[in-house]
Structure formats: C-alpha cells, structure tokens
Amino acid sequence: MSSQIISLIAPAKLTVSLKVTGVRADGFHLIDAEMVTLDLADELVVDPSRTGLEITGKFAGDLNKTDQDLTNNLVSRALLLAGRKAHVRVTKNIPAGGGLGGGSADAAAILRWAGFTDLVSAAKLGADIAFCIVGGRARVLGIGEIIEPLEKMHREITLVIPPFGVSTPAVYKAFDELTDFDKIQLNNSGVNDLEIAALKVEPRLATWKQRISKTAGAEPILAGSGSTWWLDGKFENLAEQLSDATVVVTRTK
C-alpha cells in the first residue's frame, strides 16, 4: 500500500432534474434524477503517512461548525469505509450548503483514491457519493446507488449561490411533511421536487429566484436542495448585478 502523497480533484455535481419517488422504511429517500459533473472542483491532498483533516480555500471561511463537521464526517467515514488512514487537506472551491455536493465529492475522491467501488455502501454514506465516484452524466435511481450513464452533453452552466446555505436534511424533512406517498402526486410543476420544500425551509430562496429571473431574463432552477440556483448558458453579467451572491460560470464534463 503506497504511502505517497497524492493530489486529487473532487468535481462538483449538478442535479439537473430531481423526482422523489418514495421513502424506504429505513428513512432513505428514493430518487429519479439526472446529474452531471462540473468543472468546478475541490482539491484534496492525501498523505497516508499521518492522520487528520485540514480545510482551506476561498470558501473555507464560509463553513460553519455544522458544515465543517459534515465535511469532516464524510471524509473520515469514507476513509473508514475504505479501510484507509490518511491526513487530508481539502481546498474548498465548491461553496458550502449550495446543493452542489461538495462534501460528497470530497468523500468520493477519497473512495476513488482507495479503489473502493461498492456504490451501494457509498450511497448509504451520502446519496450523491455514488454518482460522484462515477461522474459524467447519468440517471441516478434508488437511494443514489443505481447509476445509468447517459450520453455526455457539453454545456455551459451559470451558478448563482446566495450568501446562505440550506440544510439538506431539513429540506427532506419538510418534503416528507408536505408529501403523502400514498398519493404520490406532488403539486409541483417544476423539474425539482424539492423546490417547494426548500422554499418552506428557507423563504429567502424565493426572493433570489425573482432577482435572478429579472436580471437574467430567464427562470433559474434550484440545484438539489439548494441554495444554488442555476441557468443553462453563460450569464457573466450576473456577477456584477448580483454582487452579494457567488456567481460561477462553469461547464459540464
């Protein structure tokens, strides 16, 4: 087993569409989603000769204690799942709490490094981790462990991340409160079933949707559980006009 220090790339994921189709007895939600890998990525340096976690980068300061614990937990649990020990330095380029899978991407990078390929176990660690291991463009089913690759579509994406995050567990809890799975017909006309629940958890999202729509002249889509809104195409002017947000123009991989 190599003790060589190695650098890893942990690409963000974008949930292009999301349907929640049910919930299992163990509490895991069943999904039918399309996900794509983005150029935007965290960077990890793994040193197997020691242990610990260090978080740096331009978005490190945005991580509150809960976010730090989540990142620490996912990276640590990924190491444990793979039966490895290492010191990991994470450079955060993916904004925290934005629904772009930053913590999941970091865990997936560790599992790829360790040669871990059990997608079922990876999905139990985090619903997005299995996809982040595989990457590309795919239909994602089950609790996230069923990955059906799709033909790649290279496109530019504009991400608008408000100056606050949204808790994914809180959004799913609100979704469950709003949904009767015995009558699994959601009153949701959009492509993301979680949007209504996310707006309930964080009402400021509605204001941001309106601001982005007015400024861009196009209606944005919520990325996963939020807080990121995304637009298909290149809208560089948004960075100046929405200066209180983080605006990132990226590409699918």
User: Would you say 168 and 99 are in contact if contact means Cβ atoms under 8 Å apart?
Assistant: yes
Distances in Å between the alpha carbon of 198 and those of 115, 179, 201? Answer: 35, 13, 5
CA distance 111 to 11: 14
Is 42 annotated in the active site? no
Amino acid code (one letter) for 246: T
Cβ-count burial 173-210 (b if 16+ within 10 Å, e if not)? ebbeeebeeeeeebebeeebbbbbbbbebbeebeebbe
CA distance 205 to 59: 20
Q: What is the DSSP letter of 183?
A: G
Residue pointed to by tokens 């605006």: 247
Instruction: From the candidates 13, 92, 124, 209, give the one annotated as an active-site residue.
Output: 13
Instruction: From the candidates 42, 67, 106, 128, give the one annotated as an active-site residue.
Output: 128
Is 200 annotated in the active site? no
Exposed, middle or buried by CB within 10 Å (0-12, 13-18, 19+), for 172?
buried
| Residues designated catalytic | 13, 128
